[in-house]
């Protein structure tokens, strides 16, 4: 007989569920909760989308002046190394 989870208990296990770090039995318990609880289903769905939208967005380009200063600093360091400093 599987004990039903409360929403709060489910939330504490949310990451394990999303990251698939649960045992098959535990996953089934969590899945059963989602099947019965529309609010938790929405939380799971929108949390997945939150993670995916962050993963999907391209990082902004490094501004050219910042790149140039990085390159100049690196060139100085490389020259110093070659010169044995």
Partner 1 sequence: MGSLSGWYSGPETGMQASNGSVGFDEAALVERARGGDDAAFEGLVAQYQRKIYRLARNITQNDEDAEDVLQDAFLKAYTNLDKFHGDSKFYTWIVRIAVNEALMKLRKRRGDKLVSLDEEIELGEESVTREVAVWDGNPEQTYSQDELRKLLDEAIQSLKPTFRSVFQLRDVEELSTEETAEALDLSIPAVKSRLLRARLQLRERLTRHFKRKGDDAFAFL
CA distance 80 to 20: 49
The two three-digit tokens of residue 38, written as one number: 């529309």
Contact string 13-32 vs partner 1 (x = CB under 8 A): -xx--x--------------
Residue 35, interface with partner 1 (CB under 8 A)? no
State the minimum distance, in angstroms, from the CB of residue 72 to partner 1.
7
Compute, in degrees rounded to 10, the torsion defined by CA atoms 70, 71, 72, 75.
130
Q: How far apart are CA 14 and CA 43, in angstroms?
A: 9
Q: Which residues bind partner 1 (CB under 8 A)?
A: 7-8, 11-12, 14-15, 18, 39, 42-43, 45-47, 49-51, 53-62, 66-75, 77-78
């Amino acid at each position: 007989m599987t004990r039903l989870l409360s929403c709060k208990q489910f939330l504490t296990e949310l990451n394990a569920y999303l990251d698939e770090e649960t045992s098959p039995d535990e996953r089934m318990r969590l899945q059963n909760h989602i099947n019965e609880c529309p609010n938790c289903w929405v939380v799971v769905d929108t949390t997945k989308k939150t993670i995916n939208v962050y993963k999907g967005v391209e990082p902004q380009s490094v501004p050219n002046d910042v790149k140039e200063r990085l390159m100049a600093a690196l060139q100085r360091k490389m020259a110093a190394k070659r010169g044995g400093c």
